[in-house]
Amino acid sequence: MSDLRRSVVLVSGGLDSATTLALAREAGFVCHALSVDYGQRHAVELEAAARVAAALGAVEHRVLSIDLRALGGSALTDTRIEVPTTPTAGIPVTYVPARNTLLLALALGWAEVLGARDIHLGVNAVDYSGYPDCRPAFIEAFERLANVATRAGVEGEGFRIHAPLLPLGKGAIIREALRLGVDLAATVSCYAADSEGRACGRCESCRLRRAGFDAAGVADPTRYV
Amino acid sequence: MSDLRRSVVLVSGGLDSATTLALAREAGFVCHALSVDYGQRHAVELEAAARVAAALGAVEHRVLSIDLRALGGSALTDTRIEVPTTPTAGIPVTYVPARNTLLLALALGWAEVLGARDIHLGVNAVDYSGYPDCRPAFIEAFERLANVATRAGVEGEGFRIHAPLLPLGKGAIIREALRLGVDLAATVSCYAADSEGRACGRCESCRLRRAGFDAAGVADPTRYV
C-alpha cells in the first residue's frame, strides 16, 4: 500500500464509526472524516463526530448538511414519529429511507475529488438484523455501482468500500475499540441524547450499546441522563 | 398499471428532464417532481424546474438542498474552475463527482416514503458520451442497488429506474418534447445562464441544445443573452 493511500471515513459520532476510523488508521490510511447532518434528532452526534475525528487522527473532518426532514418517513427525522423504547420485529421505524445509499454517494463524490479510492463505514451485524442498507449484499452492490458511476471507476483503479465491522456483534466491536485505544466515553450512540450528549438509556441504540458492554465484560462509560 | 402508480421524477429545469416528466405523465404515472440544489452555478434552473413541474402536471415539486461546493472538483460547483466553451476530449470538467448517484439516492429515499416504486430521470445518449453516471450500465447498477438498499426493495416489489431518453440524441429528444407539447422556451439548459434564465449560447450544454434544434429541424426558442 502506498504511504499516502487516502480513505473517506463516514463518522457519525457513535462507537461503530469511531472504531472503524481507528481500524482504517491502523491499516495505514490517511483518513478524511465525513459527517452528514441529515436533520437527525441526535445532532449532538455531530459534535461527538468532530471530537472523534480529531482524537483518532483524521487529517480533516467535513460536515455536509441535507435536510431529509423534507421527505419524512423515519423516527430519526420526523418528530411526529416516536423513537421506540421496546424491541420491534422487522425493520424499525428508526430506519431512514435510503440513508446509507445517500451517505455513500456523498463519500464517493468526495473520494473522487480527493483522489481516494477507498471508503470506510461502520455498518455491522447488529445493524443488519434490522436495516437493509447495512447488509453485505448492499455493500457489494454499492461497490459495483461506484465503479460504473465515476470517472475514477471507469478510467482508473476501482473503488473499495470497506466495512470492517460487518461480521462483528456489539461486544466484539467494543473489544476492538478498547484494543485500539478508542475513547468510547466520547462517542454518542443514543437516538435521543440530550443537548449535552447524555444518553437516554432506553432507545434501541442505547439498549444494544449497553448489552455490548455487558458482552465485552467491561464497564459502560456512557453518560446517561 | 394501477390508476395510482406513483413515480419520483428528477426535474432539473432543462429540456431533457422536462421531456422525461412529460413521458412519465403520458405513461400514466402520478408524478412527484424532485429538484436538488447542490450549489450549481445555474441556480436559475431551479426556477425553471418549478415552472416545468407545474406546467407538465406533477402533483408536487420539492427542492432539497445540499451544498456540494464544500467538496469542490467540478466547474458546476467550484467557481474557480471555468465552464469550457470549446469541446474537450474525455469526461468534461462540468462532471460533478457522483452527482447522479446522489440524485438517485435522494429520489430513492423519497420514493420509499411515498410508496412509489418508480423513478424517472432524463439521462441520454448525448450525456453518456462524456459522463459515466449517465450510461446504461450505471442505471442498471443503481436499480440493483435500490433493491437491496431499501425496505421496499427487500420486503416488497422492486424498484424500477426509468431513463426513457437513454437511446436518444438531442434532436430526437426535442421532437419527443414537441410531440408531447412541452414548452421548451421555459426550460433552461445553460451551465452559465444569467439571473433571468437567458442562456450564454457558448457552453457545451448550449451548443448541444442548439445543435439539437438544428437536427430536429425546428426553430430554437431559447432566450440568449
Mean pLDDT by 10 residues, chain A (225 residues): 82 95 98 89 82 97 86 68 65 75 95 93 80 90 95 84 95 97 93 88 91 95 94
Q: Using the CB atoms, write b or e for B37-63: b if 16+ within 10 Å.
A: ebbbbbebbbbbbbbbbeebebeebbe
Distance between CA B11 and CA B158 in Å, rounded?
Answer: 23
Chain A contact present for B12, CB below 8 A = no
The whole-angstrom separation of Cα B71 and Cα A178 is: 33
Which chain B residues are Cβ-neighbours of A90 within 8 angstroms?
155
Name every chain A residue with its beta carbon within 8 A of the beta carbon of B154: 91, 132
In this prediction, residue B107 carries a pLDDT of 96
Q: Per-residue b/e over A142-153, b at no fewer than 16 CB within 10 Å?
A: bbbbbbbbbbbb
From chain A, the residues in CB contact with B153 under 8 A are 132
CATH 3.40.50.620 fits B6-216, yes or no: yes
Residue A132 and residue B112: Cβ atoms within 8 Å? no
Answer yes or no: do B64 and A66 touch at CB < 8 A. yes
Please say whether the dihedral angle defined by the alpha carbons of residues A104, A14, A128 and A41, taken in this order, is positive or negative.
Answer: negative
Is A154 at the interface with chain B, CB within 8 A? yes
Which of B74, B150, B155 is the best substitution to test chain A (most A C-beta atoms within 10 A)?
A: B150
Chain B residues near residue A8 by CB distance under 8 angstroms: none
C-alpha B161/C-alpha A110 separation (Å) is 25
Candidates B8, B65, B66, partner chain A, best to mutate (most A CBs within 10 A): B66
Q: Is B72 left (phi over 0), alpha (psi -120 to 50) or beta?
A: left
CB contact under 8 A, A98 and B135: no
Q: Which residues have C-beta within 8 Å of that of residue B180, sequence separation ≥ 6?
A: B19, B22, B23, B26
Nearest CB among A72, A95, A145 relative to B142 is that of A145
Residues of A with Cβ-Cβ distance to B132 under 8 angstroms: 148-151, 153-154
pLDDT of B174 > 80? The answer is yes
List the single residue in A73, A101, A150 with the smallest CB-CB distance to B149: A101
Taking the Cβ of residue A153 and every Cβ of chain B, the question of whether any pair is shorter than 8 Å is answered with yes
- What's the pLDDT score for residue A87? 61
A81 interfaces chain B, CB cutoff of 8 Å: no
Which three cell numbers mark B179? Answer: 410531440
Q: How many CB atoms lie within 10 A of CB A67?
A: 13
Q: How much is the pLDDT for A1?
A: 45
Residues 6+ apart with CB under 8 A from A178: A184, A216, A218
CB B176 within 8 A of CB B216: no
B-chain residue closest to A149, CA distance: B133
pLDDT one-digit tens code per residue, B28-45: 999 999 999 887 766 788
Question: What is the model's pTM?
Answer: 0.90
Q: Chain B within 8 Å of A129 (Cβ-Cβ)?
A: no
Q: What sign does the dihedral B34-B40-B45-B47 (CA atoms) show? A: positive
What is the rounded average pLDDT of the residues B133-148?
94
B112 touches chain A (CB under 8 A): yes
Three-state SS for B132?
Answer: helix
C-beta atoms surrounding B152 within 10 Å: 23
pLDDT value of position A6? 97
pLDDT of residue A81: 67
Contacts of A72 in chain B (CB under 8 A): 113
Closest CA of chain A from B22, distance in Å: 23
Higher pLDDT, B191 or B206: B206
B52–chain A nearest CA distance, Å: 21
**At residue B166, does pLDDT exceed 90?**
yes
